[in-house]
Chain A
Amino acid sequence: MTAALLSIEGVSKRFRGLLAVDNVSFGVAQGSIFAVIGPNGAGKTTLFNVIAGMFAPDRGSVAFAGERIDSLPPDEICRRGIGRTFQLVRPFPALTVEDNVVIGAMLRRQDPAAARRHAHDVLARLDLFGKRHQAASALTLPDLKRLEVARALATEPKLLLLDEVMAGLRPAETDRMVLVLIELNRESGLTILLIEHVMRAVMALAARVLVLHHGASIAEGAPGAVVREPAVIQSYLGAEAVD
């Protein structure tokens, strides 16, 4: 196994009385796909927001490519090479789909024409090329989820954080998204950390899975092994999910 691109050490985050993330540690290997699962309210999105710089952790550290990033603002974290999507999508509604992605592409390209060319490649990959002239406000939820991925991808991250991008997608669309992510991972060595409820996608994508419950890590390992752990079944999956 190669060195961890992202390593989380003993991270805790408290909101007043609620310990949203409780002493969580894990590492995401360079070039791997890593999933964080757990019931609603388990602290997954809070953990993401700590990594992406929206919140500073109360305790613990986050290191990316060997450097501490846990005190940096979100824009600096993106410039370091971490792209993210939002669970509740945040498009630029009045702009076209294309311009949404062009803005992401401009991070590494000063020239608008070059950014647009790169945006076209990304849009084609996410099956949004045909809709590029539509206003983002006119998109359906599955397309908005794809736009979230496209926009983050356009910043050319080394690590992509995906927050429930499969939610609301039909099974066929989920399979398509899984395929796109696997391609990205294989072709460009993109490391992916995803939060996901759709177990079909998690099982197909992730090499390793971390299970959060009440903010704490209750299991970590290969997906096949993790889903058989009694604690995971009891707290999250339910007995029928294993069949």
Chain B
Amino acid sequence: MIARVLDGVSHRGVALLAMLLAVLLAVPLVANDYLLTVLIIVLYSAYTGQAWNVMMGFAGQLSLGHAIYVGLGAYAAAALYVHFGIAPWLGLAAAIAVAVACGAIIGFLAFRFGVGGVYFAILTIAFAEFARIGFDHFQWVGASSGFFLPVANYTRNDLWNLRGNPTMFYYVMLVLTAAAFALCHALLKSRIGYYWQAIREDEIAARSLGIDTFRYKMYAAMLSAGMTAVAGVFFAFYYNNLFPEQVFHISRSIELILGPIIGGIGTLFGPLIGAFLLTGLSEAMQELLSALGFDVPGAKQVFYGLCLAVVVIALPGGVWPWLAGKLRVTRRDA
């Protein structure tokens, strides 16, 4: 069964969280650019994992096409910036709107016509593939030859236009990740969170308790899409280049969901733990390999596969529920 959602973080949990946040806030003071770059990727995958978790972990709707929301968000904000000079924080609104609309369309088609489970997952893949092929021919944003944001030599950080050094991007991503965590925590404590979990656990029983399951599944799909689009905007302005073959590719969607699966689906800490484990360890491994003089392309994918296999076999609920027991941070064990 899907991992039990952390119910009421104990004092111990709050202390741990505060410590983690303090460490993450202080990291740029001591870290070099390389470590910072790795941590940006960690936070990025923690954030997108959290966004995906809203749909799958909370409401039980499996999306395997979340790259579509990253891509739509990235292209929307980048196009507005390049073509009209609109700052990314304004473009963000458009990015979210486009992604939410897309999430609503996919959700409506699936939930209104009773497409569930595996078939729903296939539908999400199909939409992401439509988008990939569509953007390959979308000349306004460079089509298959890519879409580029102007890169100047910035002497100082421009937060409004998201131009700057890794430290600035790091803090932006940290704030987003913390905000997503707080939002998800609040949602889980509210009626909508309970209703999502009811739908995840047993949709027929949920309906018999008066829950309009269509409406709440739509909320989950739209919120998850909107949150993911925010990461897309970050992606565009951090990497400064977008290629449909990369952004919308199914491997992106899969990478996005590995963190929460390994960390613990449906838990608040799962996406965080999963991101640190996967990205942190795979980067460390690659460093080690190159230090030893090996050049092994694809080692990252093999590593991801191994992690997934180990977790699925040893800790089917993910690392966090097990770790929480060890740390005694859940209410049950506290």
Contacts and interface: CB of A to CB of B under 8 A. Distances in A.
Interface of A: 52, 54, 73-76, 78-79, 83-84, 86, 90-96, 99, 102-104, 106-107, 110, 112, 115, 133, 135, 137, 151-152, 155
A112 B197 contact: no
B332 interface: yes
A95 B195 CA distance: 12
Contacts of A90: 202, 204-205, 208
Given A106-B194, A107-B210, 10 more contacts: A74-B207, A75-B213, A78-B210, A86-B205, A99-B7, A99-B197, A104-B209, A107-B209, A115-B191, A133-B332
* Minimum-distance CB pairs A-B, first 4: A92-B201, A78-B210, A90-B205, A107-B210
B208 A95 contact: no
A40 to B, nearest CB: 22
A78 B201 contact: no
B211 interface: yes
Contact of B194 (A79, A86, A99, A133): A99
A115 B194 CA distance: 11
A79 B210 CA distance: 5
Given A75-B213, A103-B194, A94 B4 contact: yes
A78 B205 contact: no
Nearest to B198: A103
A133 B331 CA distance: 9
B197 A75 contact: no
A151 B194 contact: no
Nearest to A157: B210
Contacts of B266: 94
Nearest to B191: A106
B291 interface: no
Contacts of B209: 75, 78, 103-104, 107, 151-152, 155
A83 B205 CA distance: 11
B9 to A, nearest CB: 15
Interface in B211-257: 211-213
Nearest to B210: A78
Nearest to B197: A95
Contacts of A76: 210
Nearest to B209: A104
Nearest to A135: B4
B85 to A, nearest CB: 44
Contacts of B202: 90-93
Given A75-B210, A90-B204, A92-B202, A112 B7 contact: no
Nearest to A85: B208
B155 interface: no
A92 B197 contact: yes
Residue of B198, B210, B212, B213 most packed against chain A (CB within 10 A): B210
16 contacts: A73-B207, A74-B207, A75-B207, A79-B210, A92-B202, A92-B205, A94-B5, A99-B7, A103-B197, A112-B189, A115-B191, A133-B331, A133-B332, A137-B1, A151-B205, A155-B210
Nearest to A111: B191
A75 B1 contact: no
A155 to B, nearest CB: 6
Contact of B195 (A103, A133, A137, A152): A103
A112 B190 CA distance: 6
Contacts of A135: 4
Contact of B208 (A52, A93, A106, A137): A52
B188 to A, nearest CB: 10
A107 B212 CA distance: 11
B213 to A, nearest CB: 7
A112 B210 CA distance: 16
Contact of A92 (B189, B198, B207): B198
Interface in B315-334: 331-332
B95 to A, nearest CB: 31
A113 to B, nearest CB: 10
B58 to A, nearest CB: 12
A103 B216 CA distance: 14
B184 to A, nearest CB: 15
Nearest to B211: A75
Contacts of A102: 194
Contacts of B194: 99, 102-103, 106, 112
B214 to A, nearest CB: 9
A1 to B, nearest CB: 29
Residue of B1, B201, B331 most packed against chain A (CB within 10 A): B201
Interface string B1-12: 111110100000
Contacts of B190: 112
A91 B205 CA distance: 7
Contacts of B207: 73-75, 78
